[in-house]
Amino acid sequence: MSLLSSLSGQISQVRDGGLKIVFRKLRTLITYLFNCLFGGAIVLVASLARPFITIRFGSLFTSRIGHLAFNMDNYLASRRARNSREWGVFKTDRHISNLTIFEHWRRQEHLLISNVAALPFFFLEKFFPDSPMLISYKKELSYETAYDSLCSTSPSFFRFTAVEEQQGKKLLSDFGINGPFVCFHNRDSAYLSFFGDDGNLHDFRDFEFDDYRLAIESIVRLNIYALRLGEIVAKKSALDLPLFQELTGSKRRDFFEIYLMSKCLFFVGGNTGFSNVARIMRKPQLIVNFLPFRIRELTIYSENSLFIPKKLYKVKEGRYLRYREMNALPYDIHYKGDFFADHGIRIENNTPEEIEDAVLEMHSRTEGSWVDSEAQQQLQNQFWNSLGDEPGLNLLHRALKSTISSTFLERNRSLL
């Protein structure tokens, strides 16, 4: 758009809207100039200080717990790998999805989380987007960072103070949890309905919590507590078992939820942001109902994790897609519409039996007692070979030692 046509459009808006539009545009202009002036001044001071101290500016998406947990974990791991003593200064969203995680990041060395950072961040992003002073979302914060690093194999940055440890132990006692436990979580539409979504369709990730019924019954028979976590849920579970507790709704607390994730044997959930909390604790994860099936994205989870995908049925062809076909689907998170329905694909959730098998397998793997049979090892080899040279494959399977459930492969041989 030319300067002349842009100016003409502005004049037209003022003529149609009157003084109200004039004041609104004036306020916008003043805000813009203020951000440029003071943002530029902060950047100038940081540049002059660079021989003595390195200061960089970034944006932390605090309104989603996955971003709050994972993005900062990636940045800290990246900084550690570079052996950098730089100061990271981050702006935030208005909403803080979990205060315990947020306050913990604020305790990290050489880290400042303050909305003052919004000024220099705006200035750099607007005028110097390639500046080394700008912390890159794609290269240092996002899941793509995991392709080139081993964040989840490095020591956790998360440490509770002695007072917090005492508080956590008291809460365990108050809730009568006096033995080992496994944490369970499912995705439904309730959370995003309450806080608002990002405009992208993710309902295909949903599944019912009571699909865990057989798995929880088996875990309880092993004298292990099964704990349901989640801030807002669509409906309470129908399960009524002595060692099962639903710690959602009024029973949920930011601190207790994070403390439980840090102390559990392992975590069971879908590929949601909440699952990334287990990653920052370096806890093994069983990712059930994994969809979209993009194998490289599994590198964002903890090492020694396990996964089972949803199945995809091609309606016109009357058959299930194989793993390599699911992995090759051109899914885009920003696709406007129902990607799978628009491509003639029906989604099938994992069955309670598949989940039960995978949970028991996960338990054996975390105990160190699981050994693939010869037939299972052959299926594992077939699975990994079928995916070819997919980015992230070696990192996932060899470095992180994460894999697809052997029992799931046995139940679904036709998908190979």
Q: Where are the domains positioned within the chain?
A: 3-149, 162-415
Q: CA–CA distance from 10 to each of 16, 19, 25, 28, 31 (Å)?
A: 10, 13, 9, 13, 18
Cα(129)–Cα(341) distance, integer angstroms: 38
Instruction: Identify which of 347, 301, 291, 286 has the alpha carbon closest to the alpha carbon of residue 320.
Output: 347
The whole-angstrom distance between residue 108's C-alpha and the CA centroid of its chain comes to 20
Asked whether residue 334 carries a pLDDT value surpassing 80, the answer given is no
pLDDT digits (tens, 9 = 90+) for 365-390: 999 999 999 999 999 999 999 998 87
Cα(291)–Cα(271) distance, integer angstroms: 7
Look up tokens 């399977």; give the residue: 397
Give the pLDDT confidence score for residue 219 in this predicted structure.
98
Contact, 276 vs 258, CB < 8 A? no
Cα(271)–Cα(280) distance, integer angstroms: 15
Give the pLDDT confidence score for residue 408 in this predicted structure.
98
73-82, 256-265, 308-317, 391-400: the lowest-pLDDT one: 391-400
Instruction: Identify which of 258, 262, 218, 244 has the alpha carbon closest to the alpha carbon of residue 363.
Output: 218
Give the strand order in the sheet containing 345-348: 319-320, 311-314, 345-348
Give the pLDDT confidence score for residue 205 in this predicted structure.
87
Give the pLDDT confidence score for residue 7 in this predicted structure.
47
Asked whether residue 177 carries a pLDDT value surpassing 80, the answer given is yes
21 or 176, which is more confident: 176
Q: DSSP labels for 342-403?
A: HTTEEEEPPPHHHHHHHHHHHHHHHHT-----HHHHHHHHHHHHHTTT-TTHHIIIIIS--E
Residues 6+ apart with CB under 8 A from 382: 416
Asked whether residue 196 carries a pLDDT value surpassing 70, the answer given is no
Average pLDDT for 97-113: 96
For the record, the structure tokens of 401 come out as: 């030692």
pLDDT digits (tens, 9 = 90+) for 206-257: 999 999 999 999 999 999 999 999 887 888 898 999 999 999 988 889 999 9
Give percent helix, percent strand, percent coil of the chain, each to the nearest 5: 50, 10, 35
Alpha helices by DSSP H, listed for 309-351, are 323-328, 339-342
Q: Can you name the residues that pair with 285 across neighbouring β-strands?
A: 267
Number of residues that this document lists for the chain: 416
The mean pLDDT value of the chain amounts to: 89
HEC letters along 183-250: EECCCCCHHHHHHCCCCCCCHHHCCCHHHHHHHHHHHHHCCCEEEECCCCCCCCCCCCCCCEEECCHH
162-415 CATH: 3.40.50.2000
Give the pLDDT confidence score for residue 126 in this predicted structure.
93
For the record, the structure tokens of 102 come out as: 């947020």
> Considering the entire predicted model, what is its pTM?
0.89
Give the pLDDT confidence score for residue 173 in this predicted structure.
96
Give the pLDDT confidence score for residue 20 in this predicted structure.
64
Asked whether residue 124 carries a pLDDT value surpassing 50, the answer given is yes
Give the pLDDT confidence score for residue 200 in this predicted structure.
61
Give the pLDDT confidence score for residue 336 in this predicted structure.
79
Cα(87)–Cα(57) distance, integer angstroms: 8
Dmax (CA) for the chain in angstroms is 79
Confidence of residue 392 (pLDDT cuts 50, 70, 90): confident
Burial 86-105 (b: 16+ CB within 10 A, else e): bbbbbbbeeebbbebbbebb
Cα(212)–Cα(290) distance, integer angstroms: 15
pLDDT digits (tens, 9 = 90+) for 8-44: 555 565 555 556 665 676 777 778 888 899 999 999 9
120-129, 166-175, 193-202: the lowest-pLDDT one: 193-202
pLDDT digits (tens, 9 = 90+) for 262-286: 999 999 999 988 999 999 999 999 9
pLDDT digits (tens, 9 = 90+) for 58-97: 999 999 999 999 999 999 998 998 899 999 999 999 999 9
Asked whether residue 195 carries a pLDDT value surpassing 60, the answer given is no
Cα(345)–Cα(416) distance, integer angstroms: 18
